[in-house]
Amino acid sequence: MMCTVLENTDRPEPGRYALTGTEDGHVWGVCDEIDGLFGEPARGTYELFGWVPEGEEVRGWVGSRVWLVPDGGDEEFGPWLLEDVVSAVRAPGADGLVLRGLDGYEGPPEGHRTPVRLHDGRRWLGSCREFARVLPPEREVCPLVLRGLAPGDRLRAALAKGTRRALDLEEAALEIRDGRGGHLAERLLWAKVMAWRPSVRGAGLIDLELDSALFEPVPVHARPVWERWLAGPPVAANAWAGLDTRLRETWLELVRERGCRRPCPDRPAGHAYEIDGRHITDEPGLHLALGEAVNGPGGYFGGCLDALADCLRGTFGYTAPATLLWRDAGTAREHLSRVLTADGLPLDLFAEVLGVLMGGGMRVVLA
C-alpha cells in the first residue's frame, strides 16, 4: 500500500461512479472508470439422480429460472428456485442430470432428498427420484478498482491515517450513473481499502482498490444490456424487443431500479394509453411493454403482478380511471395464457394481468 500525500485539489464534477457511505450518505469519492464491475457468480451444482425427461430432452441452456417442486406428497418444503441456469448435461455414466445455477431467495432444506419435478415456468422439464446439492465453489474474486477517483475530504483523512481501522470504510454503496448523469443502479459492498496509488488520469486523483469479497458483480452475460444503459436510457420504445428472456430480465431490473428511484408524475384521470403488444412473448416483455405504454421508452410500471397493482394506485404516472388500447393482444394471449406457477400449477397470466389492470381502474380494449 502506498501512502503518498494527496494534493488538495478541487473536486471535479460528479462522475459516473460514486462511492457513498450508507449510514449518512457522505461521498467518499467519485470517478468515471471502474474495474471489477462485471464478473461470474459462484454457481451451485445440483445432481439429479434417476432423471426422466418430460417431452423433449433437456440439452444445453434450460432457461433463466428453473423451479424444483417436491414430488410424492411432501408439502412441508419447497418449491425452490434455481436462477440463471447455464448448463444441463447428463452425468457421465449415470442416469442423472447435472444443473448449475444460483439458488434463489430460498434454497432446499439441508439434507432434503425427496423426488422433485422441474419446470421453467412454461413447461415441465422432467423429474428425478433424488437430488443432491453441491455447495457453490469459492468465487474467483477480482479486485474492485476505482480508477481516477477524486477523493472526498473524509477519504483523504482515512488514507493519510493509514491504519487498518481507518481504511475500513464499512458498508458503502456504489452509485452508478448513465452517460446523461441520471441514476442507473446501486450496488452495496463492504468498502475496505486494500491499496491505493496516484492515478495517471490527473493530479490529485487516485486508483483505489477495495476488497470485493462481499461485492456481488454484475453477471457477465448482462454486460451488453448494461453497456447500452450506461450510454443513457432508451429514447425509442421496444429497444429490448430483440433480446431473449434472460436479457429482458436484466433490462427489466434496470428499468425497475431507475423507475422506483425516479417515479413519473401522475397524469390526470381519463388518460388514454396504448400498448404495443407485438413483442410480448414472455413475462418480462409484458412488464417492459406496459411500462413503456404508461411512461414512455424505458418506463417502469411494475415488474410482477403485485408491483403492477401498486403502480395502479398512483405515483407511477397513472391516475384512475383510464383506458388502455392493447394492440396485437393475441401475441400475449398465445404466449402467456398457459404458464406455470412456482408450485407448477397452471396459470393464465394474460387473464390475471387483465384482472389486475381492470381492478386498478384501467379499462382495457383488446385489438
HEC letters along the chain: CCCCCCCCCCCCCCCCEEEEECCCCCEEEEECEEECCEECCCCEEEEEECCEECCCCCCCCCEEEEEEEECCCCCCCCCEEEEEEEEEEECCCCCCEEEEEEECCCCCCCCCCCCEEEECCCCEEEEECEEEEECCCCCCCCCEEEEEEEECHHHHHHHHHCCCCCCEEEEEEEEEECCCCCEEEEEEEEEEEEEEEECCCCCCCEEEEECCCCCCCEEHHHHHHHHHHHCCCCCCCCCCCCCCHHHHHHHHHHHHHHHHHCCCCCCCCCCEEEEECCCCCCHHHHHHHHHHHHHCCCCCCCCCHHHHHHHCCCCCCCCCCEEEEEECHHHHHHHHCCEECCCCCEECHHHHHHHHHHHCCEEEEEC
Write down the pLDDT at residue 107.
66
pLDDT at 6 exceeding the cut of 70: no
Please tell me the pTM assigned to this model: 0.91
Q: What is the pLDDT of residues 179-221, one digit of tens each?
A: 999 999 999 999 999 999 999 999 999 999 999 878 889 999 9
Q: What is the pLDDT of residues 220-264, one digit of tens each?
A: 999 999 999 999 999 999 999 999 999 999 999 999 999 988 778
Write down the pLDDT at residue 214.
82
Write down the pLDDT at residue 13.
47
Write down the pLDDT at residue 206.
98
Write down the pLDDT at residue 2.
33
Banded pLDDT at 8 (limits 50, 70, 90): very low
